[in-house]
Structure 1
Amino acid sequence: MKLRMLGLTVAGAVGLSALSACKKDEAPPAATAAAPAAIKAAPLPADTPLPKDEAPAQEAPKSGGTIHGIVAFKGTPPAAAPITPGSDPNCDGMDLVDQSVHVQGGKLANVLVRVQGNVPGQPTTPPSSMVVVDQNRCTYQPRVQGAVAGQPLVLMNSDGTLHNVRGMSAGKQLFNVMQPPLKTKEAMPPQEADVIRLKCDIHPWMTAWVVMSPHPYFATSGEDGAFTIEGVPPGTYTLEAWHETLGTKTAQVTVTEGQQAQTSFEFIAAKGK
């Protein structure tokens, strides 16, 4: 199912009165037989269920070359901080530790790797697909992903409780969207936004990140540390690997038409860790 862009910036502040809405007695709306065929343009964000199988794939051109790499972590990763979920029964089953540094077998997940700056021949319009952020068991999913400037964010609430999504960048609030249970809304980040942090004031442990680029040449490392960026025009580029707490690393890579370029990044544990 394809969704039409609303192009709406949602702003505002969540008052303390909104916190009282996140209670057990907030009953989720009754399930409908089928979701509407599309989100219709409206003066305010539209609410509609979003199918679980909606594919938010990026639309990078398939010509050009491919960049493949691994993000490694050297040393002992910091211990995951425990999370106290509170008394909301809709949060049952959530992760009880913070996943800001997610290392398995010396490989680092949730690193956003992107080509720095503009790319010759890059698309002049953003992809028609939307960037989906789901709120499931009081956790943002995925935790880290990329987006092209001009792409709207689809903010999906799969929980039977009230959430809000506050988008912040460089200390400035970009939008603040209140989400009733089992509803979907949209927010349009400003073109100049770079790294956007998403927070829920009602469930303060909830955090996610959306890293913006002027083009679709980016990818997020998986649990095996691997990432792949496809359709990159031939040329020599600077790649940036961004992590929410460990900072950034850069590497030079040369892309050849129809070929796969290999690169790697390594983040190191802080001294004494």
Structure 2
Amino acid sequence: MLRRFFGFSLISVVALACARDDTASAHPRNGARSSDDGVAPRPAVIAPATQPYKIVAVSAGGTITGTLDFEGARPAPQVIRPSVDQNVCGNSIVEKSVTLSGTRVAGAIVWLTDIRSGKAFPLERRLDLTNDSCTLDPFVLVMSINSTLNVGNDDRTLHTNRFINVGTGQIEAVAPFNDDGEVVPVDRFREPAEIEVVCEQHPWTHAWIAVLDHPYYAQTAANGTFSIDGIPAGRYRIRAWHPSLGYVDDSVTVAAGQQASVAFRISHTAPATPTVVAPAPESVRPA
């Protein structure tokens, strides 16, 4: 398909990863309906940074590997009956926001919540988010600050995507589309945040973006596994999150040049709201 790129500017967003006790959370996201003035702030899984991330040389970096399992009844797909643009959207949309392989959760975001120094960001930082059949694909994204998000439209209809900072309620950007084949590059995410993406014309449409100010994150594969490498030796807090299932926290000790493992389990029975705890300064974090 022919793509037409349009210049676009996104104002900065504010927030960072937080830590809490080892608990899982049923914190499925309820979508916000936006206006020009934004929406009410909601508890976010990423909270404001207390100190900047520093890029340093990492010798004998360690690796964290792991899995994410879901405990409980398998979430049923939601069937949406579009009230507009049925010629494009169809008469029904089966929303499969949760992908499971057995009990393993695919597409969840995993990151270190208290790391404040380490390896450099990857050189290539471009991601895609596409309006396709009146839904947004992918449903969940993770990206580092100063990355480029190419927002596209594959539908022959009007879409107006709004980027909402969950923690502040502010609309950080608006990406309007008039036809298929258009692409809007968004490249000014300057601070970490949890971002909800909605469409004004199609209120069932949602996507979620975790914006982090460090490179220590991963997204679970189809079999629910993940890996994060190049980690300085030390003890860290680590979080796994899926917008439809909630989040779960753990702690992990990484030895120089060694591999550590984490087995996350998430259910619908744990507390719903994160408790924000500022990360310990580098000088006092246990080794």
Pairwise same-fold verdict (TM > 0.5): yes
Q: 1:66 aligns to what?
A: 63
Structure 1 residues 225-271: Cα deviation after superposition (integer angstroms, max 9, x where no partner): 11222333333211111221433211112234443321111011349
Q: Does the Cα contact within 8 Å between 1:127 and 1:148 map onto a contact in 2? A: no
Rate the CA distance shift 1:270–1:117 in 2: closer, same or farther, 3 A: closer
C-alpha separation between the residues in 2 aligned to 1:95 and 1:252?
43
C-alpha separation between the residues in 2 aligned to 1:260 and 1:101?
29
The higher relative CO (CA closer than 8 Å, separation ≥ 6) is in 2
Q: What's the offset of the Cα at 1:184?
A: 0.6
Q: 2:129 aligns to what?
A: 133
Structure 1 residues 4-58: Cα deviation after superposition (integer angstroms, max 9, x where no partner): xx782269x889xxxxxxxxxxxxxxxxxxxxxxxxxxxxxxxxxxxxxxxxxxx
Structure 1 residues 107-139: Cα deviation after superposition (integer angstroms, max 9, x where no partner): 12232101113332232x674422221222222
Query: Tell me, which stretches of 5 or more residues in structure 2 are unaligned?
Result: 1-6, 13-33, 37-57, 271-287
Normalised by the size of structure 2, how large is the TM-score? 0.66
Normalised by the size of structure 1, how large is the TM-score? 0.69
Q: 2:21 aligns to what?
A: none
Which amino acid is 1:159 matched to? D
Q: What's the offset of the Cα at 1:152?
A: 2.8
C-alpha separation between the residues in 2 aligned to 1:257 and 1:72?
28
Rate the CA distance shift 1:205–1:127 in 2: closer, same or farther, 3 A: farther
Q: What's the offset of the Cα at 1:106?
A: 1.1
Aligned length: 218
Structure 1 residues 187-234: Cα deviation after superposition (integer angstroms, max 9, x where no partner): 245433411011111122221111011111111123321122233333
RMSD (Å) for aligned C-alpha atoms = 3.0
C-alpha separation between the residues in 2 aligned to 1:104 and 1:210?
23
Q: 1:168 aligns to what?
A: 164
Q: What's the offset of the Cα at 1:176?
A: 0.9
Q: 2:88 aligns to what?
A: 90
Which amino acid is 1:234 matched to? A
Rate the CA distance shift 1:223–1:66 in 2: closer, same or farther, 3 A: same
Q: Does the Cα contact within 8 Å between 2:119 and 2:230 map onto a contact in 1? A: no
Structure 1 residues 33-85: Cα deviation after superposition (integer angstroms, max 9, x where no partner): xxxxxxxxxxxxxxxxxxxxxxxxxxxx9972322111001121332221113
C-alpha separation between the residues in 1 aligned to 2:158 and 2:60?
44
Q: How many percent of aligned residue pairs carry the same amino acid?
A: 29
C-alpha separation between the residues in 2 aligned to 1:178 and 1:209?
18
Moved segments of 4+, more than 4 Å: 125-128
Q: 1:157 aligns to what?
A: 153
Rate the CA distance shift 1:95–1:149 in 2: closer, same or farther, 3 A: farther
Give the match's secondary structure for 2:88.
helix
C-alpha separation between the residues in 2 aligned to 1:187 and 1:199?
15
Query: Tell me, which stretches of 5 or more residues in structure 1 are unaligned?
Result: 1-5, 16-60
Q: If each structure's strand is expressed as a fraction of its own residues, which one has the higher value? A: 2
2:118 corresponds, among 118, 121, 145, to 121
Please say if 1:213 is aligned against 2:209.
no
Which amino acid is 1:69 matched to? G
Rate the CA distance shift 1:223–1:259 in 2: closer, same or farther, 3 A: same
Give the match's secondary structure for 2:93.
coil
